[in-house]
Amino acid sequence: MIRLKRSLPLLAAVVLMFSMVLSGCGSSSNNEKNASEKNTTKVQNATKEEPKEEPKEEPKGDPYEVTLYYPGTPQKDVALVEAEANKYLLEKINATIKISAIDFGQWDNKLNLMISSGEKSDIIFTAAWQNYTVNVAKGAFLPINDLLESNGQDILKNLDPAFLDGSKIEGKNYGVPTNKELAATRGVLVRQDLLDKYKLDKSTVKTWADLEPLLKVIKENEPGVTPFYMSNSNGNGLLENLDWDYLGDASVPGVIKKVGTETKVMNELDTPEFKATAELARKWYKAGYINSDAATSNVFPKEQAKTGKVFMWTDGMKPGKDKEEEASVGFPLTQIELTQPTITTGDTSGAMLAISRSSEKPEVAMQVINLLHSDKFFNNLVNFGIEGKHYVLKDGADNVISIPADADANNRTYNPGAQWELGNQFLNYLWDNEDPNKWDKFKEFNSKGIKSPALGFSFNSEPVKNEIAAVNNVNKQFKPALTAGAVDPTEMISKYQDKLKSAGIDKIIAEKQKQLDAFLAAK
């Protein structure tokens, strides 16, 4: 009992010490927990307070050079314009541009060489009158429907759908049409100063034959001036002005009438219209109204007109065509329209930019075409050059330009005159001699266009591509001289027909008729 009493104080002390230890452990654990929580809160607060790092921009890589080829006159200052364009394109799409204008007389050979050799190229001008379907059949151009969706959104937004629908080949697009007049008519551009000098009345002209009295006056009174200038460079002869629908490509034989409901495909050489026009050309040639080298000259009519030695030449007409060309030619012009405004598949594909099969970055090429259709600065830089050097903006106007005071109107260093080939004409500046309502008149002109019964049809030349090649060789042999009036049509047409038949023209026309009939039946 005494031993137990003596042990109680010791036991109490042990219990007390054990309790203190437990209490200390619990306090330490709690302190650590609290410290941990405080540290976590500090970290969280610090994270909230520190600004987030912006994601690093991916490196763009080397800029891609986009080559642009179109038929036209090479320009002295093209390198200066390229340099300005490149500053802009590098920032916009990490690309540069190389602009190459090829003289019309050399265009076909240059294009054929590029296609056959597989030479690297990106953007190439093409048209219904420039072997469009033939070159598509060769595989020269890429189908661009997907590229339009991914990199050509502004084209799809701004371009009348009729252009893209009308220029399709078997449901696919191979070129971006220029946004310009949709309807088309043919006629002549005439020196206004010479009309005034001899008091010639253009209102008396209703047909091609009615031009003859005007030509006679110039022939008799202006010995240094060609009354009616023709060139082999772009087929600007009377026979090119017949009112035919060539069904998508004027380089492939087989035509129907644009106006009316007749859809029989014809060989134009078999028609009375062809014979009568060839006889008229022959009459004018013999009278000295047409230049003697018309069948062989590769000088584009408007280039020859700059010399002041041309009175009249044929061209496609539209509102303000005379004033548009006047700025390039340097002489006052007027226009005489001699056919009705019509709309054919060939008109919707009368000027296009295609992307070459050999392009290494077709998506970048499409971005450049998209800018030509949507970016006013870039479009006008390519078409008119550098402000202050190649043109000046008129005071108080943001869309009207004039030639710099110190520039030579007939020897300018950058004046391509190729707006109708390159992009969206509705973005173009207007020269100070042009009608300020020009673009409204374009819309009115389009609304008056008579639609061909074959509108929307494009011929697929693949089944007869060998025959087309053979026929084109025959055309080169006969058509320039016949068009110029340099040979007797009575004798020459018969020989021409025989050669065409041997080359397979009947097979081509039969295939065209077959495809057209199928198109019309489906429509």
According to DSSP, the residues that pair with 50 across neighbouring strands are none
pTM of the model: 0.72
Q: How far apart are CA 441 and CA 423, in angstroms?
A: 19
Q: How much is the average pLDDT of 364-371?
A: 98
Please tell me the predicted confidence (pLDDT) of residue 234.
59
pLDDT at 162: 84
List 468's β-bridge partners, or say none. none
For the range 464-469, what are the long-range contacts, defined as Cβ-Cβ under 8 Å and sequence gap of 24 or more? 464/504, 464/507, 464/508, 464/511, 465/134, 465/137, 465/138, 466/504, 467/503, 467/504, 467/505, 467/507, 467/508, 468/134, 468/251, 468/252, 468/508
When pLDDT is averaged across residues 15-29 and rounded to a whole number, the result is 39
Residue 206: count of CB within 10 angstroms of its CB: 9
| Res. 327 pLDDT band, cuts 50 70 90 | confident
Instruction: Quote the CA–CA distance of 132 and 452 in Å, as a whole number.
Output: 19
Q: Look at residues 350, 342, 347 and name the one whose alpha carbon lies nearest to residue 450.
A: 342
3-state secondary structure 67-84: EEEEECCCCCCHHHHHHH
| Element spanning 96, H or E | strand 95-102
Q: What pLDDT is stored for residue 464 in this prediction?
A: 93
Taking 90 as the threshold, does the pLDDT of residue 230 lie above it?
yes
Confidence of residue 408 (pLDDT cuts 50, 70, 90): confident
pLDDT at position 144: 97
**What is the distance, to the nearest Å, from the Cα of residue 132 to the centroid of all Cα atoms in its chain?**
12
Residue 80 clears pLDDT 90, i.e. is over it: yes
* pLDDT band, residue 235 (cuts 50/70/90): low
Residue 402: φ, ψ to 5°:
-140, 170
Q: What is the pLDDT of residue 154?
A: 97
Query: Percentage of the chain with pLDDT > 90?
Result: 61
Region 287-313 average pLDDT: 93
DSSP secondary structure letters along 170-212: TTB--SEE-BS-SSBEEEEEEEHHHHHHTT--GGG--SGGGGH
Mean per-residue pLDDT for 44-61?
49
Tell me the C-alpha distance between 480 and 232, whole Å. 6
Q: How much is the pLDDT for 11? A: 36
**Residue 54 DSSP label:** P
Q: What share of the chain in percent tops pLDDT 70?
A: 87
Q: How does residue 442 score in pLDDT terms, banded at 50, 70 and 90?
A: confident
Spell out where 254-341 has E strands: 256-257, 312-317, 333-337
390 has a pLDDT exceeding 80: yes
CA 511 to chain centre: 29
Q: Please answer whether residues 522 and 304 qualify as being in contact, where contact means their C-beta atoms are separated by less than 8 angstroms.
A: no
For the chain, the average pLDDT equals: 86
Q: Per-residue pLDDT tens for 163-203? A: 998 888 888 999 999 999 888 899 999 999 999 999 999 99
Domains with residue ranges and CATH for the chain: 64-179+349-430 (3.40.190.10), 185-346+453-522 (3.40.190.10)
Distance in angstroms (rounded) separating the CA atoms of residues 34 and 43: 14
Q: pLDDT band at 443, cuts 50/70/90? A: confident
Which one, of 126, 201, 24, lies nearest residue 369 by Cα?
A: 126
Q: Would you give the DSSP letter of residue 270?
A: G
Tokens of 327: 């700025």
The alpha carbon dihedral of 298, 304, 309, 315 has a sign of positive
- Rounded Cα gap, residues 205 and 74, in angstroms: 36
Phi, psi of 139 (to 5 degrees): 80, 20
Which position has the higher pLDDT, 374 or 300? 374
* Top-confidence residue, 279 or 27: 279
pLDDT of residue 233: 67
Contact 454, 245 (CB under 8 A): yes
> pLDDT of 464-505, one tens digit each?
999 999 999 999 999 999 999 999 999 999 999 999 999 999
The per-residue pLDDT for 8 is 35
Q: Given a cut of 50, is residue 297 above it in pLDDT? A: yes
What pLDDT, on the 0 to 100 scale, is given for residue 360?
Answer: 96
What amino acid is encoded at 473 in this protein? Answer: N
Give the pLDDT confidence score for residue 59 in this predicted structure.
53
Q: Tell me, what's the pLDDT at 5?
A: 37
What whole-number distance in Å separates Cα of residue 363 and Cα of residue 406?
Answer: 41
Residue 245 to residue 506: CA distance in whole angstroms? 18
Tell me: pLDDT of 26 over 60: no
